[in-house]
Amino acid sequence: MTDKAVGARDNLREYEMNLLSIENLSKAYGERVLFENINFGIAEGEKIGLIGVNGTGKSTFLKIIAGSETPDTGKVTQGSAVQVEYLPQNPEFYSGATVLEQIFRGTSPVMRIIRDYEECLEQMHNEPTDPSWQKRLISLSQQMDAKNAWQLESEAKAVLTKLGITDFLAEVSTLSGGQRKRIALAGALINPAEVLILDEPTNHIDNDTVAWLEQYLAKRKGALLMVTHDRYFLDRVTNRIIELSKGKLYSYPGNYSMFLELKAEREEQQEASSKKRQSLLRSELVWMRKGAKARSTKQKARIDRFSELSAEKFDLCEDKLDIAMGASRLGKKVIELEGVSKAWEQQAVLANFNYIVVKDDRIGIIGPNGCGKSTLLNIIAGQLAPDCGTVEIGPTVKIGYFSQENVILNEELRVIEYIKEGGEHLPTLEGGTISASQMLERFLFTPPQQWTPIARLSGGEKRRLTLLRILMEAPNVLLLDEPTNDLDIQTLTILEEYLDDFPGAVIIVSHDRYLLDRLVEKVFVFEGNGVIGKYNGGYLEYQENHLPSVEMHEPRSVSSSGEKEASKGEKIKERPRKFTFKEQREFEEIDTIIAGVECELQELNEKIKVSSSDYQVLQELILTKEQQENKLDELLERWTYLNELAEEIRNSKDSR
């Protein structure tokens, strides 16, 4: 058999093994090409994360695979027995449907039986003496037995409860947007499907629920394809990453951490190829400039070769958001909250809250949905008055508020016109200025896009544009309410780098654990009944030190919920202590142990690179790698604690 025939046979086998296959897929809107001639397959057991800059067509790609949108060219093929379940960013809801009716909306036989059973129960409740409903209920109960539907119904209610929905008979139209999104997520999770497609499933759910969803999807049987900005989520759930970039699709085995390594290697190889190509072009250019004419076959071949080299394109580097902006001057007095209280319908969301915001504060705010996080930001921003208490804003404070409800009032404006309303120029940290057009380019809006009406942008692009507009106004206090919603990972990464050097206070409400660990130095936790606990450190430290289910090293000190900080910038004191015998020995050995684990991870990475064609071996290697990475994370956290303790002991001795 020829090599060509062998390749065709192997491709056919791979095609047959896929639950779902995509061939030569292309999609464009007018002159804007989203992707072109993409080939892709989803195999059983794969958990795939789709990433890419906003506007590259991620949601469109999911819609086409799910069958809710038509491609320009190409086709999507799925097995005859393969059921696909899809959660869009903006799910549709049935008019007048209750929570359970919405959940059991599926077309499969078991879904129809459960839906009929729930409807019959409701009718019996309304007409308890009607014997026809009792007879129908007996028949449906038998069908539920035959289809083993009781477990599915129980699971649906358990999933809804985990997602914070407990009133199963509430009419969906009466619930908040976040609650409706969580109902749609529950429906997607419990509907039997071989392929589950999720578009931003972590939006509108709190930190604890994100952690539960992470575990649920990691254990779930069947294939998964999802778009999410949550990097911890990608790292812990996926075993394959695909990236949409400039019309092309790149596939990487492994989780998000592995993707970062492999992408860096691909770009290095591409850069090396580009340098070689440039060298060839230079030598061919010298020959061409001598006035070569196609007088012979050999000369003709060289001219053709030059043309091919000139036409060849290399996508060497990704567009980057290079933010180096300054901010308005910020004086000593920033924001002081004293005795602030707020209640909604007799339910306290803030109770006697006191805090003095200092110039370099980095505060993360967490808590269950509906607990009052956005209310607190609205009060700080002056958009909502407290029931009692005072909020004093310093005379030099200029607040930039990036809220969940930021709305561009006039979408007929062109992109650059909207940005110039915020500011024509912006000061940089180096003392210069940067124009609105330059800032738009740094935010991935090309010169042609800058003259595009805002209405033609994607949801993520509008969100990115709104963020830029806020920053163009040069604030010195930033309030960010769920900034990760609808922003792509690349935008978030550079935003984080910008916030590292931001010369002012930053207060963030977020369920993104990575963002909180990366940026914040204090965590405010809504603990119920309007009480807000204040904790030093990032989210991971809070989780390890203060959640009862986790037993880790000594927690940092906690200020009581109603206590006002004694002075601006004052550090919370911790009681000095000594190493125990076990800690002393651990402190002496931990560097060597960490080095050993890092060597093992390096060896695993090498094995993964050469095993990409053997799916079973690759899965085992990736699982081992994840275990070693978790071990390394624990060791590094322990190393940090031991070294902090060692420094504390030294300082204690020096002060005596």
The 10s digit of each residue's pLDDT in 15-49 is: 447 889 999 999 998 778 899 999 999 999 999 99
How confident is residue 274, by pLDDT bands cut at 50, 70 and 90? low
501 is in which domain, residue-wise? 359-383+397-559
Q: Check whether residue 106 and residue 140 sit in a common domain.
A: yes
- Is 646 within a domain? yes
- Is 126 within a domain? yes
Q: Check whether residue 468 and residue 529 sit in a common domain.
A: yes
Q: What is the pLDDT of residue 428?
A: 67
Q: Check whether residue 113 and residue 179 sit in a common domain.
A: yes
Task: Name the residue with tokens 């477990």.
Answer: 151
Residue 325 forms beta bridges with which residues? 428
Residue percentage of the chain with pLDDT more than 90: 25
3-class DSSP assignment, residue 472: helix
Cα-Cα-Cα-Cα dihedral sign, residues 247, 249, 250, 252: positive
Q: What's the whole-number average pLDDT of the chain?
A: 79
Q: Cα separation of 563 and 560, whole Å?
A: 5
Q: Cα separation of 148 and 597, whole Å?
A: 46
The per-residue DSSP string of 516-568 comes to HHHH-SEEEEEEETTEEEEEES-HHHHHHHH-TT---SPPPPEE-TTPPPSST
Q: Check whether residue 217 and residue 165 sit in a common domain.
A: no
Q: Check whether residue 107 and residue 224 sit in a common domain.
A: no
Task: Name the residue with tokens 């109603």.
Answer: 562
Of 233, 254, 275, the last residue of a domain is 254
The 10s digit of each residue's pLDDT in 70-107 is: 999 999 998 888 889 999 988 888 878 888 888 877 66
- Taking each helix axis as running N to C, give the angle between helix 581-609 and helix 256-289, from 0 to 180 degrees, rounded to the nearest 10: 50
Neighbours of 311 (CB within 10 A): 7
Q: Check whether residue 363 and residue 437 sit in a common domain.
A: yes
- Is 175 within a domain? yes
State the CATH number of the domain containing residue 618.
1.10.287
Of 144, 175, 190, the last residue of a domain is 190
State the CATH number of the domain containing residue 503.
3.40.50.300
State residue 369 phi and psi, 5-degree precision. Answer: -60, 135
Q: Cα separation of 616 and 214, whole Å?
A: 23
Structural domain count of the chain? 5
Q: Check whether residue 78 and residue 112 sit in a common domain.
A: no
- Is 319 within a domain? no
Q: Check whether residue 494 and residue 521 sit in a common domain.
A: yes
- Is 603 within a domain? yes
For 220, left (φ over 0), alpha (ψ -120 to 50), or beta? beta
- Is 348 within a domain? no
End-to-end CA distance of the chain: 84
Q: Check whether residue 509 and residue 407 sit in a common domain.
A: yes
Q: Check whether residue 451 and residue 507 sit in a common domain.
A: yes
Q: Check whether residue 203 and residue 167 sit in a common domain.
A: no
- Is 390 within a domain? no
Q: Check whether residue 204 and residue 185 sit in a common domain.
A: no
Of 291, 311, 331, the last residue of a domain is 311
DSSP state at residue 261: H
Choice between 431 and 475, residue whose per-residue pLDDT is larger: 475
Q: What is the pLDDT of residue 656?
A: 56
- pTM comes to 0.67
